[in-house]
Structure 1
Amino acid sequence: MSGRGARRRLVLLGGGHAQLAVLAWLARARPAGVEAVLVTPQPRQVYSGMLPGWLAGHYTEAQCVIALAPLAQAAGVMLRRAAAVGLDADARQVRLDDGGTLGYDWLSVNTGPAQDATRWGVAPLRPIEGWLVRTRQRLAEAPPRRVVVVGGGAAGFELALAWRHRLGPAAGVTLVSGRSGLLANYPEGVRRLGRQALAARAVTLIETRAVSGGPHGVVLADRTEVAADEVVLATGSVAPSWLDGCGLQRAPDGGLATGPTLQSVSHPEVFAAGDVASRLERPLPHSGVYAVRAGVALAAGLRAALAGAPAPLWHPPQHTLNLLSLGDRDAIASWGPLALQGPWIWRWKDRIDRGFMRRHGTPACAQR
């Protein structure tokens, strides 16, 4: 980049789960000759792994959020409160919603996913910050009595059960999973335990597609209407619109196409992790589990790139541990084909989640 002498600029676009590891590395290493900037629209990150627990009432809001400003300050990183609205990869410039542009020598993208909310008269689950604030206000003013959650993946499943626990047995809770069914990306043992958990807690499961909806309910593919006074849109993620026309190669699902080093396959000065990216040679599920694991690899790749060395390959594990909370203090564990359920699994998940938050400066998580 011109105009800054020998200094190189590293832009961290988004404060997602993987980017936390990059901030931790920068705090330790403070690489010479590097000007680092964290660009994020929010001053904090909501940890998605604890969001259902917050809704169920097991955690306070303070226990579920990570303040980004202290992490940036500790790393010597400038914090810019803005969101990307466009990118020119050939010019190495990010356009921001505050009207400015930001040039970079290296770019690390971890903005998280977007959701397609067309045909819906309700705000989607993501960005999570907005959903959390709206839901907090709703619970304080007038808790809903009929909730419909749209989306049969892990997020929809956990949130439906969290609503059930929060509202009690008098409320009606419905989960519309779509034509692919409940927890379609999980082994059959997990799906079976999931159906049993919904039935045992009186959550109605509708395994068909919702085609539209609004504040008063959803319309199914067969034109059946399901009434509600709270609709949660927890459908799958899509590529954010700011990637349109960016010049970076895109994956078939629209995400930023990366290789085994987490670098863009068309522009190696761009690294990306999390749901905004898709590995071409080995597509990975879009989940927080992989986003967290990718953080160490993302930091290692940037460290090598800034030193003029090849970025190391990242070898994700064949199987990952997935823990699904069931609203009450119960949970399902999934590891490869193995599926287990019990209160001890919830306690295990609780320890893992609190440990993650403590490592990133959330002392409230030491409280029980």
Structure 2
Amino acid sequence: MKRLLLIGGGHAHLFVLEQLARVSTPGTEVVMVTPSAQQGYSGMLPGWMAGHYERSQCQIDLRPLAVAASARLELGHVCAMNADRRCVRLDDGREIAYDVASIDVGSATDLSWLGLAGAKLLAVKPLEAFFSAWPQVLAAARARGQIFRLVVVGAGAAGIELALAARYAFARIGVDAAVSLVGSDSGFLTDHAPAVRRHVLVVLARAQIAFHRGRAVGVEQGLMLSNGQLLSADSVIAATGARAHDWLKRSGLACDESGFVEVDRYQRSVSHPNVFAAGDVCSRHDVEMPRSGTHAVHSGPVLAVNLLAALQGGTMRSYVPRRRSLYLISCGARYAVASWGRWSAKGDWVWRCKDLIDRRFIRRFSRPASAGSPKA
């Protein structure tokens, strides 16, 4: 009996479970280790913050997917991995051995410069922690009785969406709030076309969100910028760069200089061919692949095929990242900006398109079609 260990319940592994529900895998035991049976969907997080969705609408229940795939769900955090011994250790002390493993745990938020903000600091990852903490921020803002100051650090698409969602949420509940956005000296949305940046600047100005350039360091009062300016804050949301999980660096897997698992075109570890990785947790040297949830989604079907090939034999498929990815940046209200290469658009209709795509993704994995049906 071979064991396939799926580490994490990320987007790519949803496609793996879907494929395992369709295909018979005799002689294979499938185990998924994940902290929660409810997988939060990052694409709908800003919409939930703004009040457009209930929390349940932004989550996927992994339990019926696991049942349909004949997989055993183990709840817990992986805290160590020994790739040479082919096993992982969970935070409760359990060890799980594997023959083939796949890692889809995303990345952590880089808080290296912000730690001194203390209890005011709220990282956007892990998502489950953010889902639990944001209502507390709203409650504190409502109870304050005077202006509530929120600073979002990170001026990529995620940080901009969070700042605009927060501003909209405060206005919706009648809270007097000031929201600021802090980005690097190079500005914001550096990987997007100038027209996209212009659209977003207009939206930020309308929402009265101040944009500050420069490195931010956490201090007791909030943030200190590299130009010496102090930004007082009651809450600081970190949407800063991705950081690799510490246990990966000690796993024995070949990792890049930042600690992300190096994989080949088959999403397979370059040092341990029985280990695969997808999404933000991995990196490739043969192609440029920005850290984006779109790659976890697009690589999922390829990963599913390659895991089955590793277990049963067969031809593996290469994952070829798309030259351009479509980004739909939500802007607090039911309004969004689209970005695809040098093309951009904006308006209520863009938000409706995003809403349709997001709901379709959730719906796809909320009703496993193959549950209870014979496998091929």
Normalised TM-score (structure 1): 0.93
**Residue from 166, 181, 187 that aligns with 1:181:** 187
Structure 1 counterpart of 2:298, which letter? R
Q: Distance in 1 between matches of 2:201 and 2:179?
A: 14
Partner SS for 1:275: helix
The 5 Å alignment of 1:241-252 reads: 241-252=246-257
CA apart distance, 1:362 = 7.0
Is the Cα contact below 8 Å between 1:218 and 1:227 reproduced in 2? yes
1:89 equivalenced with 2:89 (yes/no): no
Any idea what the Cα deviations from partners look like across 1:166-215, whole Å, max 9, x if unmatched?
A: 1128321100012231112222221221112111211111121112245x
Structure 1 counterpart of 2:51, which letter? G
Is the Cα contact below 8 Å between 2:111 and 2:240 reproduced in 1? no
Equivalent position of 2:359 in the other structure: 354
Equivalent position of 1:146 in the other structure: 149
**Count of residues in Structure 1 that have an aligned counterpart in Structure 2:** 356
Give the unaligned 5+ runs of structure 1: 1-6, 364-368
1:30 equivalenced with 2:36 (yes/no): no
Equivalent position of 1:3 in the other structure: none
1:113 equivalenced with 2:107 (yes/no): yes
Equivalent position of 1:50 in the other structure: 44
Any idea what the Cα deviations from partners look like across 1:102-159, whole Å, max 9, x if unmatched?
A: 1111001000101232342224211010011011233245447211000011110100
Any idea what the Cα deviations from partners look like across 1:17-54, whole Å, max 9, x if unmatched?
A: 11100011111113111100000111211100000000
Identity of aligned residues (%): 45
Displaced runs of 4 or more, over 6 A: none
Equivalent position of 1:67 in the other structure: 61
**Residue from 156, 162, 165 that aligns with 1:162:** 165
Any idea what the Cα deviations from partners look like across 1:43-96, whole Å, max 9, x if unmatched?
A: 211100000000011101010011112211121110111111111111111111
Is the Cα contact below 8 Å between 1:117 and 1:123 reproduced in 2? no
CA apart distance, 1:336 = 1.1
Q: Distance in 1 between matches of 2:233 and 2:122?
A: 15
- Seen in structure 2, the aligned counterparts of structure 1 residues 30 and 83 have a Cα distance that, compared at 3 Å, is farther
Q: Distance in 1 between matches of 2:324 and 2:194?
A: 15
Give the unaligned 5+ runs of structure 2: 369-376
Equivalent position of 1:198 in the other structure: 204
Report the RMSD for the aligned CA atoms in angstroms: 1.6
Structure 2 counterpart of 1:69, which letter? R
1:135 equivalenced with 2:134 (yes/no): yes
**Residue from 4, 11, 15 that aligns with 1:10:** 4
Structure 1 counterpart of 2:165, which letter? A
Partner SS for 2:345: strand
Equivalent position of 1:219 in the other structure: 224
Is the Cα contact below 8 Å between 1:65 and 1:362 reproduced in 2? no
Partner SS for 1:222: coil
Normalised TM-score (structure 2): 0.91
Q: Distance in 2 between matches of 1:277 and 1:244?
A: 12
Structure 1 counterpart of 2:193, which letter? P
Is the Cα contact below 8 Å between 2:138 and 2:170 reproduced in 1? no
**Residue from 302, 305, 313 that aligns with 1:308:** 313
Equivalent position of 1:253 in the other structure: 258
